[in-house]
Amino acid sequence: MAVTVRDVKCIVTAPGMCDIAVVKVETSEPGLYGLGCATFTQRITAVKAAVEDYLRPLMIGRDVSKIEDAWQQMMGNSYWRNGPVLNNAISGVDEALWDIKGKMLGAPVYDLVGGKAREGVAVMPRGAHGRTLEELGDSVEAMMKDGFGFIRVGMFSPDDCPDERKPEGAPAGVYINPKKTIERYVEVFRYLRERFGNEPDLGVDVHERLNPTEAVTLAKALEPYHPCFLEDLLQPENVEWFRQVRNTTTVPMAMGELFVNPMEYKDLISNRLIDYIRCHISMIGGFTPARKLAAFCEVFGVGTMWHGPHDITPVGMAAQLHLDLVSPNCICQEFVIPNELTYEMFPGAPVVRRGYAYCNDRPGWGVDFDEELAKKYPAKGYNMRGGLAFLGRRLDGTAVRS
């Protein structure tokens, strides 16, 4: 007799600095359930509603073993599709079904999709920072001593535009001076290469803050300092410019943090215009589409560097790591080490040792979730008027997406 979905719920909590969403799929088999990540912290209540108001009635009574059919039904049922709210909702259910399948078969998910290609996954920490070049160098040195071989650097300053250059009544936000941005990163890489040589692999997140010609200028200027990658050099709306970037410089490109639709990455990969894909797998719909994307990238020689920020649950990080373990083209995994409370709330969460991330070998994702503890740390709610890092502005105050 088939095991079926008995209930689906979305639990929102905040054990760290932002809200996270966990989807729990309960089954007709007593005590058997699965967990998935559905975190879109800036619109988390919309994701919760999508899970409980729309996907829950769609899924109840379905055979939990038919994951591909469930994913296709969830994606197509709303007719309009491929947006971050719906994709995260689908991801939560999809990952929970993979967790259930692993538990039913008594195997970790990585064994269900080919088995390990490596024992540990190289980690790229969140980023080295400093107010001065010396502070930044000390931050890089500390990460090197901890065993990290991939390090992303930044010296982003919110003071790129002096007040005298702003218009009267200038609104709040991060004012971006492209010339200073380019000069700063050239200075940063020159300093770090002089201090450390060509080790470690250094990357930088441009965060789509430059227009296409400025982005090409930055890439060309950094070429003598051998960056491992430039991340999100262009906005998703300007990806056609990657052909010009490729024709201009040999600096590797990592792209995809904001991608939610296959049409955004399909041509970049098949035309070999980027070197690494950086999608956040819950933003593209979960483990099911991500494993297909990883295989697609492998065919064209593109590596994976999945997005792994602070606003991801340990369940979501485990799902990404299981995919990393089986993907020959995995280069590294961005990983923000959780606080002690998060580890307490999610027993079995992945750990980092000497620059590598490790999953346990328990069935499914190997991660559990303490719902009662989660209730003690309710969601904080996204500050719609805060978050200045997302309020980029040109020097004249015009709002820009970043």
Q: Where are the beta strands (DSSP E) in 168-288?
A: 174-175, 201-205, 229-231, 253-255, 276-277
pLDDT by residue (tens digit) across 295-353? 999 999 999 999 999 999 999 999 999 999 999 999 999 999 999 999 999 999 999 99
Side-by-side strand order, sheet with 174-175: 174-175, 392-393, 399-400
Write down the residue that tokens 């719909």 correspond to. Answer: 285
Tell me the CA distances in angstroms from 336 to 45, 93, 215, 359, one per residue in order. 23, 23, 27, 15
pTM recorded for the entire structure: 0.94
Higher pLDDT, 172 or 58: 58
**Maximum average pLDDT range among 98-102, 132-136, 382-386:** 98-102
196 HSE (CA, 13 A, CB side)? 27
Angle value at C-alpha 180, between 124 and 194, nearest 5 degrees: 55
Looking at the domain assignment, is residue 264 inside a domain?
yes
User: Domain containing 194 — which CATH number?
Assistant: 3.20.20.120
pLDDT-derived band at 158, boundaries 50, 70, 90: low
Res 243 pLDDT > 70: yes
Among the listed residues 97, 6, 9, the one whose alpha carbon sits nearest the alpha carbon of residue 52: 9
Looking at the domain assignment, is residue 331 inside a domain?
yes
Q: Do residues 138 and 129 make contact, with C-beta atoms less than 8 angstroms apart? A: no
Total tally of structural domains belonging to the chain: 1
Peptide bond into 200 cis (omega under 30): yes
Looking at the domain assignment, is residue 204 inside a domain?
yes
Looking at the domain assignment, is residue 29 inside a domain?
no
Looking at the domain assignment, is residue 375 inside a domain?
no
Looking at the domain assignment, is residue 291 inside a domain?
yes
Looking at the domain assignment, is residue 179 inside a domain?
yes
pLDDT at 38: 98
Looking at the domain assignment, is residue 40 inside a domain?
no
Domain that includes residue 250, residue range = 112-361
The β-bridge partners of 19 are none
Among the listed residues 329, 326, 324, the one whose alpha carbon sits nearest the alpha carbon of residue 352: 324
Please list the alpha-helical segments (H only) found in 51-175.
56-59, 67-76, 84-105, 109-112, 133-145
DSSP letter for 126, please: S
